[in-house]
Chain A
């Protein structure tokens, strides 16, 4: 890199990255992550199936037992719903801040806060998705050692909808990973351009 153009380079890259491409990419990804997490929450919360089993027959009349499978019987699914709800709210707030929040004075804390909050929500959604995934595996395969029967053959629709919610949540997880990566990249670029040192030019990605 020629040193004569060194003074112009950080500001030029800062202008292109932070104003145009990176901003709309990030916004689009946040919208997708919000939709995925909100879909996961809604599908899980509305997941319910009622089934009637014939337990015994007394004479000629069958004795029926009605069981309802709801998401709140399993604490892992409750945690899943709460985690995905929080992640979708986080993405919504970040979209609002990006589109409407240019008049606030953040005192320089905006980008670090966004990066840290993105990381924390990433950890949250990964915990929720993984707990629900292992519970779903238990429901699908059962556990012969603990004498726990599988339930997916009886409550097929409940299992299918739960699987759909899980897929949406893992999609949101992948998107949150990319979003946190981009937010941290934003941080580093602003740091480099504001310090205005020539040594950092070589370190900037291009």
Chain B
């Protein structure tokens, strides 16, 4: 029972690490050159601070996820892992919501502010950013599950085990 739990959490952490890493890679590799009238401009992720924040946070979380995979199961650092899981889950939710807000403006525009949607001109860039956001959302859900699970095992909050 304990063995299957360990394998299950290891697998979950590995998948979470893979999703954050792929979110970073997809977002960083998204660029497209487009010509509008006479201008030729290139759309890349670093144009928007929200996407830069998304990339930075996901990079930090993937490094953390990689290091946690190698933690031996009996070490006392698992209590630190609970606290760090909380911090990184909250950082991930804030980064995905910021990136989603800016991506929504890019897709639909804002008529009051006079902001035109740019997805029609740079469709490939837009689709790649959407893919990165979907993967980022999956990673948020996985990290939330991991955080709740580590809270349950280490702190035993529901008093389910009499030890």
Binding site for B on A (CB under 8 A): 67-70, 73-76, 79, 108-109, 111-112, 115-116, 119, 122-123, 126-135, 137-139, 143, 145-149, 151, 184, 187-188, 191, 194-195
A134 to B54, CA, bound (A): 11
Whether A139 touches B47, Cβ cut-off 8 Å, given contacts A115-B157, A128-B97, is no
Answer whether residue B104 sits at the interface, using C-beta atoms and an 8 A cutoff.
yes
**12 A-B residue pairs with CB within 8 Å:** A68-B112, A73-B111, A74-B101, A76-B97, A119-B151, A131-B98, A143-B48, A145-B48, A147-B116, A149-B115, A187-B155, A191-B157
Chain A residues near B93: list those with CB within 8 A: 123, 126-127
Answer whether residue B131 sits at the interface, using C-beta atoms and an 8 A cutoff.
no
Chain A residues near B90: list those with CB within 8 A: 122-123, 126
Shortest CB-to-CB span from A41 to chain B, Å, is 17
- Complex contact A145–B102 (CB within 8 A): no
Of B100, B114, B151, the residue contacting A149 (CB under 8 A) is: B114
Of A108, A130, A147, A184, the residue contacting B97 (CB under 8 A) is: A130
A195 to B147, CA, bound (A): 24
Answer whether residue B113 sits at the interface, using C-beta atoms and an 8 A cutoff.
yes
- Complex contact B157–A148 (CB within 8 A): no
Q: How many chain B residues touch A (Cβ–Cβ < 8 Å)? A: 41
Shortest CB-to-CB span from A10 to chain B, Å, is 16
* Chain B 31-61 per-residue mask, 1 if CB under 8 angstroms from chain A, else 0: 0000000000101000111100100000000
A137 to B91, CA, bound (A): 18
- Complex contact A138–B112 (CB within 8 A): no
Counting residue pairs across A and B whose Cβ atoms lie within 8 Å, the total is 107
Of A122, A126, A129, A135, the residue contacting B105 (CB under 8 A) is: A135
Give the residue name and chain of the A residue nearest to B104 (CB). A75
- Complex contact A131–B105 (CB within 8 A): no
Chain A residues near B116: list those with CB within 8 A: 147-148
Whether A134 touches B41, Cβ cut-off 8 Å, given contacts A74-B110, A108-B159, is no
Answer whether residue B89 sits at the interface, using C-beta atoms and an 8 A cutoff.
yes
- Complex contact B43–A145 (CB within 8 A): yes
Chain A residues near B112: list those with CB within 8 A: 67-70, 73
Answer whether residue B156 sits at the interface, using C-beta atoms and an 8 A cutoff.
yes
Whether A130 touches B98, Cβ cut-off 8 Å, given contacts A137-B49, A146-B47, A191-B155, is yes
A134 to B163, CA, bound (A): 47
Chain A residues near B150: list those with CB within 8 A: none
A135 to B50, CA, bound (A): 9
Answer whether residue B118 sits at the interface, using C-beta atoms and an 8 A cutoff.
yes
Return the 4 tightest CB-CB contacts between A and B, nearest first.
A76-B101, A130-B94, A145-B47, A127-B97
Answer whether residue B158 sits at the interface, using C-beta atoms and an 8 A cutoff.
yes
- Complex contact B118–A109 (CB within 8 A): no
Chain A residues near B96: list those with CB within 8 A: 127
Shortest CB-to-CB span from B82 to chain A, Å, is 9
- Complex contact B41–A76 (CB within 8 A): no
Whether A79 touches B49, Cβ cut-off 8 Å, given contacts A122-B90, A126-B90, A139-B113, is no
A88 to B41, CA, bound (A): 45
